[in-house]
A and B are shown apart, each in its own frame.
Chain A
Amino acid sequence: MSKRVFYILGLLLILGALLAACGGQNSSNAQPVKTVVVTVEAKGNAASGQGATLKAVKDRGYLVCGVNAQLPGFGYVDKEGNYKGFDVDYCHAVAAAIFGDPSKVEFRPLTAKERFTALQTGEIDVLIRNTTWTLTRDTELGTNFAPTTFYDGQGIMVRKDSGIKKLEDLDGAKICVATGTTTELNLADQMSARGIKYTPVVFETADQVFGAYEEGRCDAVTSDKSALVSRRVTLKNPANHIILDATLSKEPLGPLVRQGDDQWFDIIKWVVFATFTGEEMGINSKNVDKIKAETKDPNVRKFLGLEGEMGQKLGLSDDWAYNIIKYVGNYAEIYDRNLGPNTPFNLPRGLNASWKDGGLLYAPPIR
């Protein structure tokens, strides 16, 4: 009798272990299978109903924001123990819009692998972690992308004295690249499309890639342009290296929310737009109080919550945009603070300029 029970129990345990093993595999590489599991879960999620996220955030008293804790310029912990960076500032902006207090955020550092799970299971309210907007992620993962906050793209850095000016000059060159990334695949795609022969020199981590480039083991190095710029300042003679104009891939980075709560999605979208609008209207954290007191422009008055009750349409207070600009700043301020001329990166605005200056940032009107 007891023997039979033992066998059944053993069988069950083996089954459980097998299931667990399959689950483990799914999480690491088999993308489609994982997403099926995930979507079902996301639909059954309590916090995914209309308006549920905002209510949960307000009841809790703070926002939980998923960030990268290890990306220069975008997310890191400073020596005082506070989160800083471009993505981090957007978390503060959302908190300012909801609570009128940018400090009401709890940051959850996430790795690239766990970021989507954390969002789907409701562990975080919004994911702002240098995540590229792609069709697959927008659909299968059960997530929605708010407007792009940073247009990145893959670039190539070479030594100035090499005489390389464009991609075609790289024929026969050795190129350092991190293995297993979309960067490596993009490089192969772009080069074969142009019929350029090159030797990839692959490494595990970004540190190794740039170390090898500095030692002269390859003629060029490829990565996202923002990364190239931030790494260039650490090379011995930054002025001896140039970044080619060519862009190998599109990497639009922006915030993500769960599908199924459109009100929350709207809030995140318009928080991003508010930072664009602030720059378009020339309103920043320094002059916002003065403008609010003096302005007669109906568009500005709507933006700053003096008329039109725009905030209530989002489920927020009417001074939501004022709070964002006042406590966090407009897009230009956020950009300059983290990536601009006074930082070691000194990253040119490029595509990330307002449409008025020839960039891609364009906010729909607030009315």
Chain B
Amino acid sequence: MMNREVNKQYSSGEVLAPPTERYTVLGWLKKNLFSTWYYTLLTLVTLYVLYAVLKPTLFWALKQAEWEVVVVNLRLFMVGQYPADQIFRIWIALHLLAFTAGLAWAIWLPKARRIGAFLLLIPLGLAALPFISGFSRLNWILFDIFALAGWGLGIWKPKAMRRPLIWLLLAYFPILILLILGVEPILKIVKTNLWGGLLLTMLLAVVGITVSFPLGILLALGRQSKLPIVKGFSVLYIEIIRGVPLVTVLFMAQLMLPLFLPPQIKIDNVLRAMAGIILFAAAYMAENVRGGLQAIPKGQHEAAWALGLSGFQTMYYIILPQALRNVIPVIVGQFIALFKDTSLVAIVGLLDLLGIASTVLAQPEFIGHQREVYLFIALIYWVFSYAMSYASRRLEVALGVGER
């Protein structure tokens, strides 16, 4: 009876709208949580477990935990022993970053306004924290103003700003290092042994990913090369580095390297850790880029050759732009992993975010506050990792990766 009716409907040529799934709150609850007796049971059990876990956690976090250790040592966590009267240099670097990022956003992602607005909320949220100094508050607001200024400029003159943006991006990295390290006599030199906390973590990650990127591309191209020495070297390098853990590379850089070098040559230990991280990240970067290269159909090569492009031109104009666009999500993923991996430098004696946490825990007045301190730095790692992964997902959508 029913069937026949349905058939009749279809045969009559009526087009039905697809069913929409709209529920009231109660309806949603009923469908997803209480539809059958065992769903109901599972829901209740889960709710109880959540309650049992969250209640003591929240009670601890709000009532018992003594967060003073974090508040008092906030500057240590952020910049380590970086001299207090020189911190404005870090702010300048951040403001310049905000301006550049705003400009880049306007030119390359003019449509992604919602996520841009979301990212702008983060500094405002930080400015609203109750325990930070007025100077930091002002600077977080300035940070947003610079970002908006960059964005406005990009929207206003997108064509004219394209070239300055590229220059700014290329120059940013050296400017950052000069600002933080200092240039006599304009800026006082701040030696690397005073870099610490989130600043050092960020620098290690940013330097690691930035410098390893070109190295990784070279290695990936080398691995596909027809020249046996180049190819052999690339394969060996990639496989050896990928075969050892990062902590081994760091130990080698910290402990073995100084023994091999002549005593006149002393390499700064932050630099040694950076070199270790760069060499390590380059091998992984190479494999990521290779994935992108292999995904480019052979026809692209052949078409380029047919047009009379040289090998270099083929790579530079045809293959690499497509390949790199494809691997952006993977590279962001690697960056997030590297950001967290930098915490390994704590075991070779550097005072990065994790190292500074152990140091803070040795302050006589805060002995035994492990939970507060480690929870706090875990939160910092999470906030940054999540913000990056969210931004990368939106970037994929904006760039149309995977949609060709």
1/0 per residue, CB under 8 A from A, across B74-97: the answer is 011000111110000000000000
Q: Contact between A344 and B367 (Cβ–Cβ < 8 Å)?
A: yes
A82 contacts which chain B residues (CB < 8 A)?
81
Pick from A17, A108, A123: contact of B258, CB below 8 A: A123
Q: Does B360 contact A77, Cβ atoms closer than 8 Å?
A: yes
Verify if A37 is at the interface (C-beta below 8 Å from B).
yes
Contacts of B313 in A (CB 8 A): none
In B82-127, the 8 Å CB interface with A consists of: 82-84
Task: Flag B349-381 by CB within 8 Å of A: 1 or 0 each.
Answer: 111000110111111110110100000000000
Chain A hits for B263, CB < 8 A? 44-47, 121-122
Please indicate the chain A residues that have their CB under 8 angstroms from the CB of B266 in the complex. Answer: 122-123
Contact B193 A2 (CB under 8 A): no
- Complex CA–CA separation, A120 to B256 (angstroms): 12
Task: Indicate if the CB atoms of A69 and B355 lie closer than 8 Å.
Answer: yes
A72: interface (CB < 8 Å): yes
- CB-based contact B362/A10 at 8 Å: no
Number of A-B contacts (CB under 8 A): 130
Question: Does A111 make an interface contact (CB < 8 A)?
Answer: yes
Which of A20-28, A270-278, A312-320, A321-329 faces chain B?
A20-28
What 0/1 pattern do residues 58 to 74 of A give for CB contact below 8 A with B? 00000000000111110
Type the 1/0 row for B35-72, where 1 means its CB is closer than 8 Å to any CB of A. 00000000000000000000000000000000000001
Interface size on A, residues (CB 8 A): 55
Q: Is A109 an interface residue (CB 8 A)?
A: yes
Is A76 interfacial (CB-CB < 8 Å)?
yes
For the complex, what is the distance from the CA of A82 to the CA of B84, rounded to whole Å?
11
A88 vs chain B, min Cβ distance (A): 11
Q: Is the CB of B362 within 8 A of A72?
A: yes
Those of A265-306 within 8 Å (CB) of chain B:
none
**Contact: A344 with B364, CB < 8 Å?**
yes
A344 to B264, CA, bound (A): 44
* Chain A positions within 8 Å of B367 at CB level: 72, 230-231, 233-234, 344
CB proximity of B180 to chain A, nearest CB, Å:
16
Interface residue? A167 (CB, 8 A): no
Alpha-carbon distance A231/B362, docked complex (angstroms): 11
CA distance A10 to B228 in the complex (A): 10
B292 → chain A closest CB, angstroms: 26
CB < 8 Å neighbour of B256 from A10, A23, A69: A23
**Other-chain contact of A37, B73, B233, B259, B264 (Cβ < 8 Å):** B259
Picked from B81, B228, B251, B350, the residue with its CB within 8 Å of the CB of A81 is: B81
Main secondary structure of the interface of B (DSSP, over half): helix
In the bound complex, residues from chain B placing their C-beta under 8 Å from that of A37 are 259
A70 close to B252 (CB less than 8 A): no
Annotate A109-153 by CB proximity to B: 1 below 8 A, 0 otherwise.
Answer: 111011001101111000000000000000000000000000000
Residue of A nearest to B82 (CB): A81
Q: Contact: A114 with B370, CB < 8 Å?
A: no
Residues of chain A lying within 8 A (CB to CB) of residue B80: 81
Q: Looking at the complex, which one of A14, A38, A71, A122 makes contact with B362 (CB distance below 8 Å)?
A: A71
A77 touches B76 (CB 8 A): yes
Type the 1/0 row for B219-255, where 1 means its CB is closer than 8 Å to any CB of A: 0000000011100110010001000000010011011
Which residues of B in the span 177-231 have a Cβ within 8 Å of any Cβ on A? 191, 193, 227-229
User: Does B142 count as interface, using CB distance less than 8 angstroms?
Assistant: no
Residues of chain A within 8 A of B295, CB atoms compared:
none
**Other-chain contact of B349, A44, A114, A343 (Cβ < 8 Å):** A114
Does A161 have its Cβ within 8 Å of any Cβ on chain B? no
Residue in chain A with minimal CB distance to B369: A234
CB contact list, A341-358 vs B, under 8 A: 343-345
Using Cβ atoms and an 8 Å threshold, which residues of chain A touch B349? Answer: 69, 108-111, 114
B169 at the binding interface (Cβ < 8 Å): no
CB distance B368 to A234 under 8 Å? yes
Contacts of B368 in A (CB 8 A): 231, 234
A168 within 8 A of B: no
The distance in angstroms between the C-alpha atoms of A27 and B227, with both chains bound, is: 37
Task: Decide: A111 near B348, CB < 8 A? Known: A69-B359, A343-B364.
Answer: yes
CA distance A331 to B292 in the complex (A): 65
Residue pairs across A and B with Cβ atoms less than 8 A apart, 25 shown, are: A9-B233, A20-B252, A20-B256, A24-B251, A27-B256, A41-B259, A46-B264, A47-B263, A70-B362, A72-B362, A77-B76, A77-B81, A79-B75, A79-B363, A82-B81, A108-B193, A109-B355, A109-B359, A113-B255, A114-B254, A120-B259, A122-B263, A231-B367, A233-B367, A344-B365
Interface of B with A (CB < 8 Å)? Answer: 72-73, 75-76, 80-84, 191, 193, 227-229, 232-233, 236, 240, 248, 251-252, 254-256, 258-259, 263-264, 266, 269, 347-351, 355-356, 358-365, 367-368, 370
Residues of A within 8 A of B (CB): 2-3, 5-6, 9-10, 13-14, 17, 20, 23-24, 27-28, 37-38, 41, 44-47, 69-73, 75-79, 81-82, 106-111, 113-114, 117-118, 120-123, 207, 230-231, 233-234, 343-345
